[in-house]
Structures are given as C-alpha cells and as structure tokens.
Amino acid sequence: MTKLGVEAIQPGYQSDMPGFAELLTDTEIRKILAFIKSTWPERQRAAQARLNESDKSRATRDRTLSTRRREP
C-alpha cells in the first residue's frame, strides 16, 4: 500500500497498485498498515521493528550531520 503509488518512487514504472492519497487519509493508511502488520508472525514483527529503529537512527544521524554542516 502506498500513498502516492509506485510512480512516485519509480517514474514510468507500470503497476496495478494505485496510490491512495485521494481515497484515504494518512490516519486511515496507518490503521490499515497496522492491521496488516498485526497478522505477521512475531519473528517478522521483530525483524521489522529492528529495521525501523535502524532507519530512525540513520535519519537522526543524517539530520545532525546536516545541521553541523550549516553552522558557521
């Protein structure tokens, strides 16, 4: 499920998966994704949680580096 569709990520890519930005709110998309994740086995949820934490750490580090570069 994507908000803007695969086209937003990969221009020109043909997909049957539409974007849902015009049909669902961000909250509705989050609720649907939470439901899908709730059906995953515990092992898969744990693996996804580790990936999410890694992504958060990387984003924080990147913001910190970006801020330091702008300081005089």
Residue 10, classed as helix, strand or coil, is coil
The structural domains of the chain, with segments of one domain joined by +, span 1-39, 41-72
| 39-66 per-position pLDDT tens digit | 999 999 999 989 988 877 777 766 666 6
Tokens of 37: 């994740």
Q: What is the pTM of this model?
A: 0.53
DSSP 22: T
Q: For residue 28, give Cα distances in angstroms to 5, 9, 23, 24, 46.
A: 16, 21, 9, 6, 23
| 20-43 per-position pLDDT tens digit | 777 888 899 889 889 999 999 999
d(CA 6, CA 16) in angstroms, rounded, equals 9
- Residue 54, H or E segment: helix 42-70
Residue 44 vs residue 14, higher pLDDT: 44
